[in-house]
A and B are shown apart, each in its own frame.
Chain A
Amino acid sequence: MNVAIDSMTCPKANVLNTDHLEMCVRTAVEKSWASVAPCWPLQHFIAANPLAGFEHLSFDQALQQGQAYFCQKDLPTAMHAVNRESIKWLKAFFDVGQSTLAMPLRHQGLLPCMMQLMCYDKYLNRHKDQIEFWLQKDHKNPESLIVCMLLYLGVAETEQKAFLTLMLATLPGWSAYVKYQTDWADKQISVVTPSEYFAFRLLITCLLWPEAKQLLDWHQQALKNNEATKTLTQLKDNERAHQKKLLEKLAMAESTTKPDLLPEVQMVFCIDVRSEPFRRAIESQGNYETFGFAGFFGVSIAISNTILGKSHASCPVLLKPSHQVTDKPNGVRDNFTKDQQRSKSLKLIYQSLNYTFSTPFSLAEIMGVAYGAWMGLKSLMPRMFAYTKARICAHRYQHHELVTDCADIPLEQQIELASNALKLMGLTERFSPLVVLCAHASSTQNNAFASALDCGACGGNPGAPNARVLTTILNHKEVRNALNRQDICIPDSTLFVAAEHNTTTDAVDIFSQSIPETWQSVLSSLEQNLLKAKERNARWRMSQIKTNVITNNPIQHTILRSEDWAQVRPEWGLARNASMIIGPRSLTKGSNLEGRSFLHSYDWSTDFEGKHLHTIMTAPMIVAQWINAQYLFSTLDNVAFGSGSKITHNVVGKLGVMQGNASDLMHGLPLQSVFQDDKSPFHQPVRLTVVIYAPKERIVTIIEQEALLNQLISNAWIHIICFDSSTHQPWQLNRGFIWQKID
């Protein structure tokens, strides 16, 4: 080993050469990182396409590449040790709140911290001289370190990109998390750069496996051996069947002329596929009109909670929050604040006794009785526990409401938000007396992936605050006056109200505290009908879950699933999503789309320049594609792209899960989210089919303007079908952007 180091010409010697080499490395680093897709932490789990780095390839090529990079049965033997040590240090470094004694020196960043600690690691410093050699290097400049290490490993300049990509692909979960840290996370907290990560990974590789160049041969072998044709055929069959059925349903739609009767209530739901069956259920109860709109209601806000002292961004990850709002109790008989404060101090006491020396022993004995009773109740009598809890909460928090204070948003911006939102959802005339903006959230217990079931448009959070902000704005007198000048006349008899749809229990909570008398009768009949819709939808949803829970009451069944701490399938989430429909509700009204479609309202006839369609296709449609791809790949290979069975999950660093003792960070959805049982998938793997009700030319213009859309469609990552507005005929856009008539 010694000889190897001595004989190696260190690039530092040649100054001219150094710059050139570092440049090359910088390019290689950048290119190899492009093949990795980010993975969001569990606090706000966002669906992402795990093969997003291969979207520049056609779908079948990407599938093959993905298989060669991520689905290999085995690794070269020596690589296991490299991964083991990488995992050990990465989870220590990125931990955001599990350990009480945190890793020292973390604030200095990954590489400086590791360089100082690694020399004491007995698994790494077996060759003392070697580690000293690397530590002499300047760790302020990771690129020069990478140059040295690649030379040491004997990786030629032409192979650099391939080799670095393999360094990422052999530990895909952690690479994805680092990608999140470097590209998406709040920059103030971020402590790692792409080059630093490579330097870290290569350092361990140099110390444990100097012959790591063999990885390149291993990968060549993998490229030869793979076949993805079977998966692809299956996928295409599924898609064709789904499209055929969908188009048949759309063809049967009623004529697009609007009914004369003004709807009693208009409700705006999230585009989420879970809204579709619920919209159908509520529409069937009376003269209600529904709309589909991104669940953050066009307002990108950061919400701070005064009681818990937390703050989070509530908008799609593609946007940055533009406004700050606070969530505070409205002060009417507020048990909630007190309860939250009380529970906070109890938790604080518990934690201070548990996470120190000597006191945990008596804590275990003090708490033993209580925990025993609690465990018995939750496990042995889950029904009783669920109902009692639901009843107590309903009673105790009856009068509680969090009020979202949006006074900080300037009036002009309020007006802009309001007019954009209304135009985008196609609600600019014929306002009902009551317009409900209905956000959604989920309620599950003991579920590491809880945020995956919340509103994706709100960054994996409940959407109620956004709905509240927009209703406050729309009820604002001055805003309405200004809208009036833009030809959007909201009559005084119209009131906007916020609500939240609980997708786990199907309950809809209308935030109706300050509603004047005039609207009470409409509201109470709406509430009645929402209860009926809840039962209807719950019955349908529960029929989809294979179970041995015996109950005839679907509502009780959903509550049980929501409150049971042993439950691994509280709800199906967005499983089985397959298509997105951009068009008026009249196109889909009355047809049972089986909760498989994202529905976005759009009226081409009022969108003269195609501006709104442009927004829809570049924002909600992209998000739908991310979600679709996440479910697709998690189902195709739940180990490589999903996170495996929940029963052996181990939450690491409060940011992700591992399998068992230690493993790669398991990004992607758990087995139970997409499979009915170990063998049979519930989600049907298909690529997203987008049906747009608009003139063909307009769609193509937008696609040609946007490079991202261009890439997605020409590489067949999504299918675009135009439902021609004049002839009512479906046309499919092929990969060369030519419309083909579908029979």
Chain B
Amino acid sequence: MIAFVSFIGASVGSFAFRHLEGDRKRSTFMLNLFALLFSVTVLACSDHLLLFLAFWIASNVCISRLMLHKNEWPAARASADLALKYHLAGSTLLACAFALSFILTGETSINLLLQSPIAPIWQSIISLMLLLAAMMQSGLWPFHRWLISSLNAPTPASALMHAGVVNAGGFLLIRFSPLLLQSTLVLSIILISGMVSVLLGTFWKLMQHDVKRMLACSTMAQMGFMIAECGLGLFSLALSHLCWHGVFKAYLFLSSNAAAQEKRYDLNHVTSIRQWPSALLAGCCGAYTFSLVSFQPILASDTTLFLAVITTITGTQLALTLPQHNPIRQFSIACLSTLAMGIMYGLSMRMIDVMVADLALSQPQPINLLHHISLVVITLSWLVAQLGKNLMSNNPPTWYLKAYVYMLNASQPHPHTVTTHRNHYQY
């Protein structure tokens, strides 16, 4: 964890140092950045409740200081304030949860606390408070407003936020996983709250018109996925997602200025029915490779089934995208690429899995109705996106227009964080 934090910190830090050349507050920015990295590192290692809470708050204060870099710009101030408000609300909930568990167990060490017996009703209450705190931290619906309003921050600060600070929510849940695993109801609530953000975040991401808000909505969806993984009891997978998504998103933010030159290809090519069976087969091949490499069972009757489904979908999508000339050649290329994909995916997951093997974080849950519904939602949303893309463009029905406007408005930033008068912007 420390290695991960320092790697991201060093990369973003050295980027920021050169990116902010000539900026009159560069040194303040760098200081805040170091303070943030320090508090995140301590947070990741701390076991004492108070220490954890203190550095949780500290890192949130640091990120809002970084967002406040251009502090003469009213919109930037509003963004930083908004983020801080949500984070402090989350911190208060966290403090309450910690206080409650201290009163109930008398322990100040998180590890010992997790081993102490607590009455089930209190367990659930504490778990839900932790969940709420995590949702506020990670910008999950309905607490997403601050996240999509946070883009008045300098690019490196956004990179750090999306690679680090929002992940703290997932980290909190992973840290307290033994507690959460005690109740199926709690896990179900976690799963639902994650899935809502997965759907909303993805939809919003696809309809955004500027690169940074698109990335922010995408983060929201990815955070939803991470929390949903926690709700499935797959905590080590959530950790792996946390790390890799962090790096991925940091990179995308740092390179966001190149979006002007990025050429978007036409993704609306119509796929014929004939392609689907072979693509699906190639997808399964990818999923099988993945399960071999990552030591995950392929067809389990527990929640690891989610992974198999997601991998199959990804593999199928990949195979569908490949150029179509010769069906046999194409099929072999498709299988090879999904194979490679499976290996890469499996390896990156295995890497984190091995590192945290001693902690025995993951406890796959037996499949229940909710899981079935979620699986159907994941698959259906993908299928609809894949097959229904062309239907809406020419003669959209009224309900679609209504939904479009509704969603567009829902994904707007807080009004105070918009620079409505050009000269309000200050550098």
Q: Which of A's residues lie within 8 Å of B, judged by CB?
A: 42-43, 70-75, 79-81, 83-84, 87-88, 91-92, 95, 97-105, 116-117, 120-123, 170-173, 308, 310, 344-345, 347-349, 351-353, 355-369, 371-372, 374-376, 379-380, 382, 445-448, 450, 546-548, 564-569, 638-640, 644-654, 657-664, 666, 671-672, 675-679
Inter-subunit contact B348/A359 (CB<8 Å) = no
Cβ < 8 Å to A, chain B residues 254-276 = 254-265, 267
Extra A-B contacts (16), CB below 8 Å, given A91-B209, A104-B401: A120-B406, A171-B422, A345-B322, A356-B317, A360-B221, A362-B314, A363-B314, A375-B247, A446-B258, A448-B258, A565-B255, A639-B427, A647-B156, A654-B262, A657-B260, A660-B151
Contact assessment for B210 and A98 in the assembled complex, using a CB-CB cutoff below 8 Å: yes
Which residue of A is nearest B341, CB measured?
A366
Some 30 contacts from A to B, beta carbons below 8 A apart, are: A87-B418, A92-B209, A97-B263, A98-B208, A99-B206, A99-B209, A104-B400, A120-B401, A347-B263, A351-B264, A353-B321, A356-B386, A358-B313, A361-B221, A361-B222, A367-B244, A369-B351, A372-B248, A372-B251, A446-B258, A546-B22, A564-B18, A648-B154, A654-B262, A660-B79, A662-B210, A662-B213, A663-B420, A664-B421, A679-B24
- Known contacts A361-B310, A659-B425; decide if A43 and B24 are in contact (CB<8 Å): no
Q: How far is the CA of A254 from the CA of B212 in the complex (A)?
A: 56
Asked if B326 is an interface residue, CB under 8 A from chain A, the answer is no
Instruction: Give the docked Cα–Cα distance between A638 and B20 (Å).
Output: 17
Q: A567-B18, A568-B21, A658-B210 are in contact. Are A365 and B401 (CB under 8 A)?
A: no
Tell me whether B396 and A648 are in contact (CB under 8 A). Answer: no
Contact B14 A379 (CB under 8 A): yes
Q: Flag if A368 contacts B393 (CB, 8 Å).
A: no
Given A121-B409, A357-B381, A101 and B401 contact (CB-CB distance below 8 Å): no
Residues in B whose Cβ lies below 8 Å from that of A123: 409
Residues A355 and B419 in contact, CB atoms below 8 Å apart? no
Q: A376-B11, A569-B22, A660-B79 are in contact. Are A644 and B249 (CB under 8 A)?
A: no
Q: Counting CB contacts under 8 A, is B155 at the interface?
A: yes
Query: Which single member of A83, A365, A374, A658 contacts B421 (CB below 8 Å)?
Result: A83
Which chain B residues lie closer than 8 Å to A677 at the CB level?
21-24
Are B222 and A661 neighbours in the complex by a CB distance under 8 Å?
no
A381 to chain B, nearest CB (A): 9
What does the 1/0 interface line of B1-36 toward A look like (CB < 8 Å)? Answer: 000000100111011111111111000000000000
Bound CA span A648–B207, Å: 22
Residues from chain B with a CB closer than 8 A to the CB of A70 are 422
Digit string of B103-123 for contact with A (CB within 8 Å is 1, else 0)?
000000000000000000000
Q: Is the CB of A100 within 8 A of B155?
A: no
Q: Kindly state the separation between the CA atoms of A255 and B426 in the bound complex, as whole angstroms.
A: 52
CA distance A676 to B421 in the complex (A): 26
Cβ-neighbour of B206 out of A349, A355, A661 (below 8 A): A355
- Residues of B near A660 (CB, < 8 A) are 73, 75-76, 79, 151-153, 417, 419, 425
Partner of B396, one of A105, A120, A310, A361: A105
Specify the chain B residue showing the minimal Cβ separation from A363: B314
- Give CA–CA (A585, B384) in the complex, Å: 66
Question: A348 touching B152 by the CB < 8 A rule?
Answer: no
Contact A566/B222 with A367-B248, A368-B245, A639-B425 known, Cβ cut-off 8 Å: no
B345-399 residues with Cβ-Cβ distance < 8 A to A are: 345, 347-349, 351, 378-379, 381-382, 384-386, 392-393, 396
Give the docked Cα–Cα distance between A344 and B425 (Å). 38
Minimum CB–CB distance for A135 against chain B, Å: 13
Q: How far is the CA of A614 from the CA of B427 in the complex (A)?
A: 43
Assess whether B420 is in contact with A365, with CB atoms less than 8 Å apart: no
The contact of B257 among A72, A172, A344, A651, by CB within 8 Å, is A651
Nearest-neighbor residue (CB-CB) of A650 within chain B: B212
CA distance A661 to B251 in the complex (A): 19
Query: Which residues of the partner chain B approach A73 to less than 8 Å between Cβ atoms?
Result: 423
Q: Are the C-beta atoms of B427 and A678 separated by less than 8 Å?
A: yes
Contacts of A376 in B (CB 8 A): 7, 10-11
* B311 CB within 8 Å of chain A: yes
Contacts of A100 in B (CB 8 A): 206-207, 267
Given the interface pairs A446-B258, A645-B427, A661-B417, the reply to whether A91 lies near B210 with Cβ below 8 Å is: yes
- Contact B423–A357 (Cβ < 8 Å): no
